[in-house]
Amino acid sequence: MRVGIGYDIHRFNGARAGKRPLRLGGVMIPSARGLAGHSDADVLLHAVADALFGAIGAPDIGEQFPPHDPRFRNADSRTFVRTACEQVRRRGWAVGNVDATVIADAPKLVGYKGRMSRAIGLMLGVAASQVSVKAKTTEGFAPGRQGIAAQAVVLLERSPRATRRRAL
C-alpha cells in the first residue's frame, strides 16, 4: 500500500469575478465568484492530483504542470488528475480510496458533494463509493471569505494486473 496527501488553495478572482466559473471536483458550482489561477483553479482536483503524485513519489503538480507554462493557461484540471492516474497505473498501483475535504465558507456545497465524488470516481476509474468528499467552513478564519482550500488523501493498492505480472 502507498498513501499520498495533497493540498491546494486559491483566492477568489476578485476584480475578474464572473469571468471564470467555479469548478470543484470537476463539477460546476453556481457562485458569483470563481477562483484565480493559471489553470481552471479547481482546488479539489489539484489536491487529488498531488495526493496521487505523492503516493508514487512523483514530482508535484507545480513541477509537472508549471504555472508559468502557457500550455496550461486555463487548462482543465481533469487533465492533471488523468495524468496522475496514468502514472499510478504505469507503476503498478490502483486507487483504493480517496478522502477529500473542501474548506470554504461559501458557497455551500451540501448538494454537490455526491456529484463531485462521482466525477472524481469516473476520472480515477473507481466507484463513487471509493471517493469521499466533505466540506468544512473556516468559522471565519483564512481562507474563509478570500478563497477556497482543499486537501486529499489517497490510498493506493497493488494493481491485480501488476501482482500477476510479478508472479510470472
| 140 φ/ψ sector (left φ>0, alpha ψ -120 to 50, else beta) | left
Domain count, the chain: 1
Distance separating alpha carbons of residues 52 and 81, to the nearest angstrom: 8
CATH number for 77 = 3.30.1330.50
Residue span of the structural domain in which 152 resides: 2-167
Measured in degrees and rounded to the nearest 5, phi and psi for residue 23 equal: -125, 125
pLDDT by residue for the chain (168 residues), tens only, comes to 999 999 999 999 865 444 789 999 999 999 988 998 889 999 999 999 999 999 999 999 999 999 888 888 888 999 999 999 999 999 999 999 999 999 999 899 999 999 999 999 999 999 999 999 999 998 877 666 789 999 999 999 998 766 544 444
Beta strands in the chain (DSSP E): 2-11, 22-24, 27-29, 93-103, 131-136, 147-158
- Which pLDDT score is estimated for 17? 45
The model carries a pTM of 0.91
Cα angle for residues 160, 3, 106 (degrees, 5° grid): 120
